[in-house]
A = this chain, B = another copy of it.
């Protein structure tokens, strides 16, 4: 590669330097960044992150400088090396699983142990018997067995009941035959399977005496422990390149009548009696719902930080980047304007900044709800059946009021939060103008890896039916005159009670009225949907679009409510100083009013607000909030405390050396610059030279 000449190395960016611009930004705001970071993540959380960061940055294998350049195979290879080293470091430093999770977030790429460390270990732990723990979980925890969770098939995603892989009980020799009867039965998308795993938890339709019992989990060895070659009658491979997530080996898997022993069926909740061939249900599987709820809650909790990465990068760059003079400026020779000063940039970035905080507090609220539920179930379980065999805290019958609410809340918020984060990241990328398209922006690759979150753990459209179903059920209960038992039924009952007086929310002055307006719209849409379904007997399918809107409306209400409650908690006054608290309230109002005016039509139709209020929100309140928040923008993103190493972004550097970093990566790190081509169409030679000095021909 041609070295960068010294006359280039001497050049500096024109005008005020990025470092100076960001310093000026930080100087003009009084936000206490450290206090705000602590409020968001706790001091212990911040300390732990920086301790782990220090270890990672000292290891050569975690060097990120070639990440954006490497192709699929090289990236996978590096990811595997990193996964191995990370496991070694975990042992060496005695890291907890949470510590390791923090390390993974800092590394910020999916790794080949991903599904082993999550779904494989969790499923073995939660669905295995003590005997199976000994046989499978123990070697899995020692990384002798490396596993994956094989549920999705080529022809079957969300509808688990439609899975085609079969597990047929064989009474004679007390085995199961695992089989893939069709091409669409091929397991597909299975993380860590393509090249890495030697075991799989396989979800398969259980058959006993030709009778189907639905999908059940089986532990199956799929590769030889020494040669790592697929076992006989098993076909495995990586499914190929994806939009992102290419450091992970998502795989496919087919079985040609593979025999596994009786112990392979994970037996805590269901099993086959080896002697009588009878189907047994030793415990209720409500735990499984609990796990899914937990996974969705985690997505909600992470969504704020996920989006904040993009907002941090785009906001810092918008403070460094200058373009055009202000059209109303008097002096035609004045400097170009910081892009962050344009209202078309503010309406995108500052509203998303507010959204990051909104999602963060919502995720925290969601987790608290989850933990409250776990505690309650644990208490109930203790009362009900403390002597039950192997009874864990989650083993009570589902369907309790809190659990149903938790399930619906986690579905609606997972859908809203992940869609908001992913779409918001793309808005951030585009707000960076042309340079946003370079991988060095750091936003595009991050977006591409996060993108599947909108589809997995429940497709963001599909999930909304769960929310609608729950809201309709709640509305029916309220209509029957039942007393409200939770917030959902309370807002529905309140809406009904006010049906004769109508709404009169002072959204421009009172935060609590803003929350109430969101509740009102959600309740209005719920009763509208109920009328369509119960009175007009509309087909379920014809209501799906309404249900989607309803779920979105209700989830936005929950976000506004959680944000409001976080800012009105008793602890905030001890954690933050008054100016920062005041700014948090402005972010709350910006999120709520901007959402309200973006969804204006439903607020009109429900008569939650007047046309005039919407106009005022749009043209006055939101614009005023943007200008009030603008001076604090850089400090407000600093509070998210992303190390440069984690962001891996030229545009988002803390020190503002945007152009120097872009240039360095292109001129010094880019392997494409090691080749010299022959550009003429009639020459058969493609490369005149490359690093290895060889000529190359392709035509």
With a cutoff of 8 Å between Cβ atoms, the chain B residues found around residue A197 in the complex are: 679
CA distance A600 to B598 in the complex (A): 10
From 65 to 100 in chain A, residues with beta carbon under 8 angstroms from any chain B beta carbon are 68-74, 76-78, 80-81, 83-85, 87-88
How many copies of this chain sit in the oligomeric assembly?
2
Measured CB to CB, the nearest residue on chain B to A607 is B611
By CB atoms of chain B within 10 A, which of A12, A74, A88, A541 has the most?
A: A541
Answer whether residue A300 sits at the interface, using C-beta atoms and an 8 A cutoff. Answer: no
Does A539 make an interface contact (CB < 8 A)?
yes
Contacts of A155 in B (CB 8 A): 13-14, 321-322, 659
Interface residue? A671 (CB, 8 A): yes
Contact B162 A233 (CB under 8 A): no
Is the C-beta of A279 less than 8 angstroms from some C-beta in chain B?
no
Report the interface size class on chain A.
35 or more
- Can you list 22 A-B pairs with a CB-CB distance of less than 8 A? A5-B235, A7-B233, A11-B182, A11-B186, A11-B254, A13-B155, A68-B241, A71-B71, A81-B686, A143-B681, A143-B682, A146-B680, A158-B433, A196-B679, A228-B677, A235-B667, A242-B439, A327-B541, A328-B541, A342-B541, A426-B426, A430-B455
What is the chain B residue whose CB lies nearest that of A185?
Answer: B14
Flag if B670 contacts A237 (CB, 8 Å).
yes
The verdict on A195 contacting B323 (CB below 8 Å), with A70-B71, A454-B430 known, is no
A667 to B252, Cβ gap below 8 A? yes
Residues of B within 8 A of A680 (CB): 84, 143-144, 146
Q: Is the CB of A440 within 8 A of B240?
A: yes
Asked if B88 contacts A238 (CB within 8 A), the reply is no
Interface centre among A15, A194, A666 (most CB of B within 10 A): A666
Nearest residue (CB) in B for A154 is B659
A670 to B241, CA, bound (A): 8
Residues A452 and B437 in contact, CB atoms below 8 Å apart: yes
Question: For window 202-229 of chain A, which residues contact chain B by CB distance below 8 Å?
Answer: 227-229
User: Cβ of A605 < 8 Å from any Cβ of B?
Assistant: yes
Q: Which residues of B contact A681 (CB under 8 A)?
A: 83-84, 87-88, 143
| Contact A434-B456, Cβ < 8 Å, known A5-B256, A185-B14, A541-B328 | yes
Question: Beta-carbon contacts of A116-142 to B below 8 Å, as 1s and 0s?
Answer: 000000000000000000000000000
Tell me whether A479 is interfacial, beta carbon within 8 Å: no
B184 near A14: Cβ-Cβ < 8 Å = yes
Distance of A10 from chain B, by nearest CB (Å): 9
How many whole Å from A351's CB to the nearest CB in chain B?
Answer: 11
Given contacts A183-B663, A228-B688, A601-B604, 18 further A-B contacts (CB under 8 A): A11-B180, A13-B155, A13-B182, A83-B681, A157-B433, A158-B323, A159-B336, A162-B336, A227-B688, A229-B676, A235-B667, A242-B438, A341-B541, A343-B542, A344-B544, A344-B548, A545-B623, A600-B601
Smallest distance from the beta carbon of A253 to chain B beta carbons, Å?
11
* A8 pairs with B235, CB closer than 8 A: yes
A540 at the interface (CB under 8 A from B): yes
Tell me if A198 is interfacial: C-beta within 8 Å of chain B.
yes
Question: Quick check: B611 and A605 within 8 Å, CB to CB?
Answer: yes
B194 engages A672 (CB within 8 Å): yes
* Bound: A615/B606 CA distance, A: 11
Q: Which residues of B contact A455 (CB under 8 A)?
A: 430, 433-434, 436-437
Residue of B nearest to A669 (CB): B240
**A666-B238 CB under 8 A given contacts A323-B162, A455-B437, A600-B600:** yes
A438 x B699 contact (CB < 8 A): no
Looking at A4, A78, A88, A676, the one whose CB has the most chain B CB atoms below 10 A away is: A676
Q: Which residues of B lie under 8 Å from residue A328 when comparing CB positions?
A: 539-541
Q: How far is the CA of A227 from the CA of B689 in the complex (A)?
A: 10
Complex partner residue of A433 from B12, B459, B667, B688, CB under 8 angstroms = B459
Q: Which residue of B lies closest to A541 (CB)?
A: B343
**Interface digits, A652-682 against B, CB 8 Å rule (1 contact, 0 not)?**
0000000110110111011111011111111
CB distance from A103 to the nearest CB of B (A): 14
Nearest chain B residue, comparing its CB with the CB of A180: B11
Contact yes or no, A249 B542, CB < 8 A:
no
Smallest Cβ distance from A358 to chain B, in angstroms? 20
Q: What chain B residues lie within 8 Å of A665 (beta carbons)?
A: 240
A154: which B residues are within 8 A, CB to CB? Answer: 13, 659, 662-663
Q: Which 3 A-B pairs have the closest CB atoms?
A: A71-B71, A600-B601, A87-B681
A504 close to B (CB within 8 Å): no
Residue A696 at the B interface, CB < 8 A?
yes
- The reply to whether the CB of A444 lies closer than 8 angstroms to some CB of chain B is yes
Instruction: Tell me the smallest distance from the CB of A260 to a CB of chain B, in Å.
Output: 18
Chain B residues near A228: list those with CB within 8 A.
Answer: 676-679, 688
CA distance A600 to B603 in the complex (A): 11
Among candidates B183, B243, B245, B614, residue contacting A12 with C-beta atoms closer than 8 Å: B183
- Contact A195 B604, beta carbon cutoff 8 Å: no
Cα-based distance from A669 to B426 in the complex (angstroms): 31
User: How near does chain B come to A504, taking the closest CB pair, in angstroms?
Assistant: 18
**Alpha-carbon separation in the docked complex, A5 to B183 (Å):** 13
Residues of B within 8 A of A194 (CB): 672-673
Report the separation of the CA atoms of residues A73 and B70 in the bound assembly, to the nearest whole angstrom: 9
A384 proximal to B (CB < 8 A): no
Q: Which residues of B contact A496 (CB under 8 A)?
A: none
Cross-chain contact A254 with B8 (CB below 8 angstroms): yes
A347 interface contact, C-beta 8 A: yes
* A698 in contact (CB, < 8 A): yes
Pick the residue among B241, B600, B687 that contacts A439 (CB under 8 A): B241
- Chain B residues near A256: list those with CB within 8 A: 5, 7-8
Contact B237 A666 (CB under 8 A): yes
CA distance A327 to B543 in the complex (A): 11
Q: Which residues of B contact A239 (CB under 8 A)?
A: 438, 662, 666, 670
